[in-house]
Structure 1
Amino acid sequence: MNRAADQYKLRVKRFLFCGRADKNHLLNQLTDMLDDFQQAKPEADYTEYVATFGEPATCATELLSSLGESKFKAIRKKRLLARRSIYVAILVVFVLISSLLYYKYYQSLYFNEDTVVVIGPATRITEEEAEAAFERTPVDAHSDGGTEK
């Protein structure tokens, strides 16, 4: 086969969605047809192959229909099921990620009893004022950052 015939065969192969055995059988049929055409027109280019056999997608559909109507429908049904399964899996992953992100956002809004919200400008106090404020607070509210006195 020449380069144009190989190119046409590869493009048709992309559109053959069937099992390996059926695909090999259909590609052998296509190779025989391409060889016959090449013997009749050895100088043919890709456009002549398309003009003779049709667009690669159309040629692949015709080859697949030669397998029989029931087998063709079963192949199409299986392919449709695979595509839908992929779409559902992507949707499930999207929903899980979205719910996880929403949960994290919701948790970031949650305040517990240890949360202190300071509203107002920051002020500087001396070390003595900090010690005096520390002494006025209840003992169970003391936290010195884990250091011992």
Structure 2
Amino acid sequence: GEGAVHADAEKLMPEVRAALADNFNTPVVKASLHAALALANRFVDEGKGIDKAVRRRTIARLGRDIRIVGEALGILSQKPSVYLAGRRDRLVRLRNVDVAGVEKLMADRVAARAEKDFKRADEIRVQLGQLGVELKDTPEGTTWAVIDD
């Protein structure tokens, strides 16, 4: 929609254009993208004290500009879930992670938690960590990722 956006949301495109004109200065482009993403996250997470219409327009503007920059650079084109699944698959191959073994241990951990055997559940979490796997417990369930250090 038309109307004012937060002043910091106006910075991304001019900064990117200047950086690209400056011998394709990708470190500056990346820094500008990072700042825009941080601002978008802040507006999504903490909208207090900001006019709702300005907040909504700012998030929309940042989303549009981030997509434009991403398309120009050939990045950010995949859905996050597709990218993250591909990244996990690459790390699984690189680190020789036994996916079936991880899934079995996760099922054992779910069972231990259901039985309120939290000591066993914690032991399984540690065991998975030693295999290079980190768990993320969410309200929707537990997911895992290969530790990328």
Taking structure 2 as the reference length, the TM-score comes to: 0.25
More RCO (CA 8 Å, sep 6+): 1
Taking structure 1 as the reference length, the TM-score comes to: 0.25
Query: Could you say which structure has the larger radius of gyration?
Result: 1
**Greater per-residue strand proportion:** 2
